[in-house]
Amino acid sequence: MGAALIAIVVIVLWMRRRRNADFIPLGGGALPAKIGPYRIDERLREESAAIVYRARNDEGQPVILKVLPEDALDDANNRRRFERELRAYVKVHHPNICGILDFSMGGETPPYLAVESPQGETLDQILEREGRLAAARAVAITIPLVQALGCLHENGIIYRNLHPRNVLVQPDGFVKLTDFALARLDFMPSLAATTTAIAEPQMMSPEQLTRGQESTDHRSDLYSVGVLMYRMLGGRYPFDNANVAVLLKEICESRRSPLEEVNPAVPRALCVVVNKLLERTPDARYETANGLAEALKEVETRLPASAP
């Protein structure tokens, strides 16, 4: 299948995903008082087939509660996606990955995942407020994030969902990665992600668009790291056209503005790292997340704390 046709298919699926997010959760629009042992504080967002709440258990411990609502239960793909995310959380244990605290596969309550909810802000909130970050701060956020991705890759998990809203930054600067809704589990091919679950278009690698989600490897995650770093340092995404069709075509075919032109104050050594991550050919990127982490640590030693 040609790149243009795949791009059109992805556009349609992306729009369908947005439409599917308009369902009425749990049989009505009112915020449920309690789900299982968790008291609901607020609804954070709606995903393609799940509702995400901020909640707390009977001891008052805050959690992020992802719930598969009643009107999504009959779809086998939704249940498979839920199980895939659960297994990803159970499989990995890393200080920079939010851990799972509890889960239900259904019965008296709808299926849910209860994940730790550390204090802090999402990177999305930080970038919305500050626009772009100093080089030293961007690198300090990226290194633990890449180490978390390395842990996933070593355990046969391709994350495929890197986005500023899935990166949590605590008040002391500690970084945590969350949300495995789109993860591919190579050790359980029977739980392969369906093609209707796609990442945010700005974050997708060219090979995700031209070869499909299931034919990509861990280097697609590294491309997304490059997109995230470009956003942190440059104040915008490499490609961010409001027209989704044009955006996907640009990712596959257009020349991006070099980071050093978007923000000339970014140190040259850091621009080299970001440019390598954003190579269209996976073989031209870093081979592993661990290799990327080492390169970033080397750059970090040469960055003054006040570097822009």
Give pLDDT tens digits along the chain (308 positions): 454 435 444 444 444 444 443 333 444 467 888 999 999 999 988 876 788 999 999 899 999 999 988 777 777 777 888 888 888 888 889 999 999 999 988 888 888 999 999 889 999 999 999 999 999 999 999 999 999 999 999 999 999 889 999 999 999 999 999 888 777 887 665 445 444 445 688 898 999 888 765 668 999 999 999 999 999 999 999 998 888 889 888 888 889 999 999 999 999 999 999 999 999 999 999 999 999 999 999 999 988 765 44
Q: How many domains does the chain have?
A: 2
Asked whether residue 155 is domain-assigned, the answer is: yes
Report d(CA 184, CA 194) in Å as an integer: 10
Query: pTM (2 decimals)?
Result: 0.83
For 31, which DSSP code? Answer: P
Of 116, 138, 169, the position where a domain reaches its end is 116
Q: Torsions phi, psi of 123, nearest 5?
A: -60, -30
Residue 70, Cβ density class (10 Å: 0-12 exposed, 13-18 middle, ≥19 buried): middle
Instruction: Look up the domain containing 64 and give its range.
Output: 3-116
Residues 292 and 185 in one domain: yes
Residues 80 and 179 in one domain: no
Of 63, 92, 116, the position where a domain reaches its end is 116
Q: Torsions phi, psi of 248, nearest 5?
A: -65, -35
Residues 144 and 261 in one domain: yes
Asked whether residue 288 is domain-assigned, the answer is: yes
Asked whether residue 125 is domain-assigned, the answer is: yes
Question: Where is 115: in which H helix or E strand?
Answer: strand 112-116
- pLDDT confidence of residue 2: 52
Asked whether residue 31 is domain-assigned, the answer is: yes
Residues 262 and 226 in one domain: yes
CATH of the domain at 153: 1.10.510.10
Q: How far is CA 104 from the centre of its chain?
A: 23
Of 85, 116, 147, the position where a domain reaches its end is 116
3-state class of 219 per DSSP? helix
Report d(CA 141, CA 166) in Å as an integer: 13
Report d(CA 118, CA 294) in Å as an integer: 27
In the chain, the N- to C-terminal Cα span, in Å, equals 43
